[in-house]
Amino acid sequence: MRKILAAAVLIAMVAGLSGAALAQVPAQTLLHNAPQAANYPQAKAIYMLDGAVVAMNSDGVVTYVIHQTMRLFTHEGVKKYGEVQVPYDTDLQTLHLDYARTITPDGKVIVPEKSAIHEVTPPELQDAPMYSSVKLYTISMPALEPGAIIDYQVTLTNKEPAGTHETPDLSEGWFFADEVPVQTSSFVVQVPKTVHLQWQTRGITVIPTVQTGSATVTYTFLKHNIPAIGYEPYMPDIDALSPELVISTYNSWDQIATWYANLSADRMQTNSAIVAEVHTLTAGIQTPSEKISKIYDFVAHKVRYVALELGIGGYQPHSAADTFANRYGDCKDQATLLVTMLRAAGFEAYPVLVRVGSGINADFSLPPTPLMFNHAIAAVRFNGKWMFLDPTCDICTTSYLPYSDRERNVMIVLGKKNEPDVITTTYPFNPDATYVKSDVQAVLAPDGTLTATATVATGGDYDLGYRDLLLTYRPTDREKLFGQVLKHVRARGTAHRIHVFRPR
């Protein structure tokens, strides 16, 4: 294959990350071997190389080298891929830019100026200082035009050895396909000989080459000419469609649960403020279900959700006390606070790890890895069954788990030595629970005037949709909203009175 040279350079880096990591394929060689747009008429760009090296040293410290080489075919490709972005957590990793360059169609090599390289806080975290360590390392690539090549390499190094505190044991996932074609996908893993590595693929057959050195074993997973995943309306998430590789040094899913339980145990401690709030919320309430509902409503409505995927910014939640005081948090923070408050009220509650997204689900037949999960919710044992609660949904109630959390394979983290953690499935989809029911009672007067009372009742996801719509408007504006809707149905109709029951 024409791209074997680039892949070979990436693989050679394993022999000595400190020096060989800077190796670059000559620009003229890349340009000479670059694919032509005419051969990919539907693509806006192509990955000539999508590569990574993951290397664990004898001390357990893991280094990640990311190397991507892409040729742009269209102006749309220039806009979409011209900003290189690498997310990382400054508390957990160091980042070094090995090199970045643009190779123009006529062979010039343009290196980004220092002013084109920034480390910024993601926009969604601007107002969330608890996550100030989460950064986007961005490179504005210069001199881009159709036919240009983007070539860059960064090295990320964990600050702690794998398996200690916040840093889990070594486990990674690798997706071979993308929304543009991939000429060479290369994933290399190097571990000490004393470390047992298991791996498994889904949707693709890749047999690694294995090299055994005096102290290390290197696995190279290589695949060529992978078609693009084309866009279709209502298509599943791209991760659900891409062939996948999972590697792990964990032996069981219980190890994952134990690690997360240890990581979050001291974060679920109450303080006087939390206890006082729980007492206020549940005062005078006799039924357990209503107590659960009051506590859930507090966390869902009073604690602002910061949309940060589980694993980005680390896996350890902030303390319940911090989240309660700051009144914001990501999914694991909100779940931790909810579990803490439910326990303070006398309920048996636990954090739950889940994978959400269109067409994807946690697959416990694959090697164990924390990367299987991208979301955290809560579970409370109630009437002998598990009640699942997602406090990130601020328009939900305890009676309805949102669509995105249903029929999900999940892990309930019990954190008990003598009781195994629970792998189960959340509530199934229930079409009967999602509905819009309309009832119209009308009276036609002798003069032709029609007076009608319309009642609209909703349930399930439609209930959430209407609730979200109504809460967007002030109560005084809701009549105007429904008046406009009525005008579309009856041009001369007038809404006289509107009652909204339980917008929360």
In this prediction, residues 329-336 reach a mean pLDDT of 95
- For residue 216, being part of any structural domain is answered with yes
**Per-residue pLDDT at 20 exceeds 60:** no
Asked whether residue 420 is assigned to any structural domain, the reply reads yes
On whether both 377 and 442 belong to a single domain, the answer is no
430-435: which pairs have CB atoms within 8 A and are 24 or more residues apart?
A: 430/460, 433/400, 433/459, 433/460, 434/459, 434/460, 434/461, 434/462, 434/463, 435/459, 435/460, 435/462
Indicate which CATH number applies to the domain containing 284.
Answer: 3.10.620.30
Total tally of structural domains belonging to the chain: 3
Residues 274 and 245 in one domain: no
Rounded mean pLDDT of the chain? 88
Please check whether residues 355 and 453 belong to one and the same domain: no
Residue 163 has pLDDT above 80, yes or no: no
Confidence category of residue 469, pLDDT binned at 50, 70, 90 = confident
Domain span including residue 223? 4-249
Q: Which residue has the higher pLDDT, 345 or 494?
A: 345
Residue-wise pLDDT for 191-220, tens only, equals 999 999 999 999 999 999 999 999 999 999
Does residue 240 share a domain with residue 322?
no
How much is the average pLDDT of 295-317?
Answer: 85
- Domain CATH code at residue 195: 2.60.40.3140
Question: Do 242 and 359 share a domain, yes or no?
Answer: no
Domain end call among 429, 446, 474:
429
- Strand-pair category, 304-305 with 244-248: unpaired
For residues 141 and 38, state if they share a domain.
yes
Return the higher-pLDDT residue of 397 and 191: 191
The DSSP secondary structure of 345-385, one letter per residue, reads: TT--EEEEEE--STT----TTSPP-GGG--EEEEEEEETTE
Tell whether 408 and 459 lie within a shared domain: no
Last residue within a domain, chosen from 233, 249, 265: 249
CB-based contacts of 273: which residues, under 8 Å, 6+ apart?
321, 324, 325
pLDDT on residue 466: 75
pLDDT(4) > 60: no
**369 and 260 share one domain:** yes
Task: Give me the pLDDT at residue 281, please.
Answer: 97
Q: What is the pLDDT of residue 6?
A: 42
**Whether residue 171 is found in the same domain as residue 299:** no
- What is the rounded CA–CA span in Å between residue 89 and residue 316? 13
Report residue 463's pLDDT band, with 50, 70 and 90 as the boundaries.
Answer: confident
The Cα–Cα gap between 279 and 423 comes to 32
Last residue of a domain, one of 232, 249, 266: 249
| Chain position carrying tokens 């008990």 | 416
Domain presence at residue 38: yes
Predicted confidence (pLDDT) at residue 373 exceeds the cutoff of 90: yes
Cβ-contact 357, 237 below 8 angstroms? yes
Residue 182 and residue 61 in one domain: yes
Q: pLDDT band at residue 313, thresholds of 50, 70 and 90?
A: low
**Per-residue confidence band for 7, with pLDDT thresholds at 50, 70 and 90:** very low
pLDDT band at 279 (very low <50, low <70, confident <90, very high): very high
Amino acid 10: pLDDT: 47
Confirm if 155 and 68 have CB atoms less than 8 A apart. Answer: no
Residue 176 dihedral angles phi and psi, to the nearest 5°: -85, -25
* In-domain check, residue 504: no
pTM of the model: 0.85
Q: What is the pLDDT of residue 18?
A: 40
Query: If we measure between CA atoms, which residue out of 371, 153, 61 comes closest to residue 247?
Result: 371
Please check whether residue 342 lies inside any domain of the structure: yes
User: CA-to-CA distance for 368 and 168, rounded, in angstroms?
Assistant: 11
Closest alpha carbon to 52 in 11, 103, 87, 82? 11
| Structural domain includes residue 148 | yes
Residue 112 shares a structural domain with residue 175: yes
Asked if residue 285 is part of any domain, the answer here is yes
219 and 110: one domain? yes
Of 106-110, 355-359, 403-407, 453-457, minimum mean pLDDT range:
453-457
Query: Which helix H or strand E contains 63, and what residues bound it?
Result: strand 62-72
